[in-house]
A and B are shown apart, each in its own frame.
Chain A
């Protein structure tokens, strides 16, 4: 079985600055994989490279055995990879319902159709209603997304990410800025919604990471210094030194 994501010898330079050097990462099908590392280690850049937000200077990235490095973000999305953003990135003036519906439209095959009434597409309506139910925002469906509370916007962000039915879901710090109760709620939500899919997550909250992940990769200065099960990572002296030892994390 091919791996969900395979990153081989990827390098990213901005001018003369190496942000990522020789990045190698393998994520198996159905795995819940967390990427951790200190601030500025290149976690978000890694996300941006895989999702096509930025293109690698060199190296290769495969999604389910297909080459995706060099493709544009929407081409990668259509091949079954969907990501969320660290800073909430929704359609602020559109309602919650419309936000989710937009994320459903491509996957249900309606593409750029200008000859269909969007309100009378039963499968779109049903799927949108299901996703809203899943993210507990049904009661807020007619509210413009920009007026939601922060935690609700984060949930909507996850909803938009999973709505297209991608096989690989990448979440960039989904619980950042949340209270403990909100975090617990969000973790339960993520666990339930990514059932049967591959999950890649960047997270600072170690209780979330160790509670959710099957495997963990540790990124330091654009390099994966260790990759393994939560137990292996906990016991790894290099990781302790580079990352877990720092009190502020």
Chain B
């Protein structure tokens, strides 16, 4: 135990640096994923035919083994001299987050009580007003749940980014495996788990704050 604490003491700033890198990668990926995913989800509610196709495609994306997806990125991004590192990792994470975000946004808006939609139309709201004032506020808890799933998923999958040189906490695990360094593997895993738990809790608090008071249970 003392030996492990000693390891942590010596490597503290290194671990911290990797943690910050991990948060940056996942954080930026999530922000981009939310912007794209929520927009697509909302758009799909107006285009039934496309909805099925897009949701199916997003599902397929999620079935690709993560390590393979990161690998697939390399030849594509080599074309713009970004074959390994931050950019391909970011793109892979954005793609992975799309399914939970799109699907939850789409079904949350689709499942808003039809009586509210009817009332919104009846009082003379335009399509956009209905979306902003009625549909999104009432769909928010479910949309946020999708975002939370995506964040937790990304923090875990972000570990793989280390394989294509994007750094982050995966570095500790990859190095640990190649050097059979148990402390390194354990540390990497624990920090990733803590990060996921903290992120989920923080997002849950944000979700509660954003949820209109009238639709809390």
- Whether chain B is bound by chain A comes out as no
Give residues in B with beta carbon < 8 Å to A.
Answer: none
Give residues in A with beta carbon < 8 Å to B.
Answer: none
